[in-house]
Amino acid sequence: MNFSPSLLESLRAATKIVALTGAGISAESGMATFREAQTGLWSKFRPEELATAEAFRRERKFVQDWYTWRRQNAVNAKPNAGHLALVEIEKRAPEFLLVTQNVDGLHQRAGSKQLVELHGNIHRFRCFENDCASDNFDVENGRCRSCGGHLRPGVVWFGEMLPIDALETAISAAEQCDVFFSIGTSSVVYPAADLWRRAKDSGSVIIEINKDPTPLTPLADYSFLGNAGEILPQLVAAI
């Protein structure tokens, strides 16, 4: 793959790099994305029936089983060349932050360190009724030992606020970076989908890597349509 000299120069000169990732970076690890036609989770399941507090109140077992199934998929999956390429960029960049919308934990397993999870993590749990401290959970029985409440997955559901520390860290990093990557995300879910604009407004170079075109594609400085697990390692090798 050929990369323009100006792109390579921007990456070599960058002191602060931010990479935003979505479900697409885990697709080559066998994880389903959300919005891809036919294959995406939301083409098979209705988010309002599974990824909301209301759904948990209404159909707790159904929701818990669905997350158990997704959690097992994440455990069985392995980080791919795309995840590993980001670890390499983190090692080389003077400053780097990985902002992920993914809850699968594959970035951590690949070795990423400078990481914020905007939508939580499926391997963590929360007490649904009282949000009790997480050190007293009976995960096997899905119960909180502190209050007897039910355990819910430690992810952000539709209609819920993002973890404020993670969001503020992501926003300030985006506003200070030289290069901003948007990788494997449809760029339609906010506030994550707004981060590139904050970076752009601060003069950052925007690089998109995605299998399909997104609303960001015509606005990015560089947009590569294809598999992140193929393009990212080539880009790292070219820097």
3-state helix, strand, coil in the chain (%, to 5): 45, 20, 35
Interaction residues for ligand APR, span 123-182 (CB under 6 A) = none
DSSP 8-state symbol, 117:
E
Cα–Cα distance list, 234 to 9, 87, 88, 89 (Å):
15, 14, 12, 12
Contact 95, 120 (CB under 8 A): no
81 lies in the binding site for ligand APR (CB under 6 A)? no
214 lies in the binding site for ligand APR (CB under 6 A)? yes
Instruction: Report which secondary-structure segment, H or E, holds 196.
Output: helix 195-201
Binding mask 184-203 for ligand APR (x = CB under 6 A): xxx--x--------------
Distance of closest approach, residue 209 Cβ to ligand APR, in angstroms:
6
Distance of closest approach, residue 27 Cβ to ligand APR, in angstroms:
3
Distance of closest approach, residue 212 Cβ to ligand APR, in angstroms:
3
The residue among 21 and 132 lying less far from ligand APR, judged by its C-beta, is 21
DSSP strands (E only) in 131-232: 137-138, 143-144, 151-155, 179-183, 205-210, 222-225
Interaction residues for ligand APR, span 26-65 (CB under 6 A) = 27-28, 33-36, 40
The residue among 112 and 185 lying less far from ligand APR, judged by its C-beta, is 185
Helix (H, G, I), strand (E, B) or coil at 54: helix
123 is catalytic: no
Site for ligand APR (CB under 6 A): which residue of 10, 16, 17, 22?
A: 22
DSSP 8-state symbol, 204:
P
- Site residues (CB under 6 A) for ligand APR? 22-24, 27-28, 33-36, 40, 101, 119, 184-186, 189, 210-212, 214, 227-229
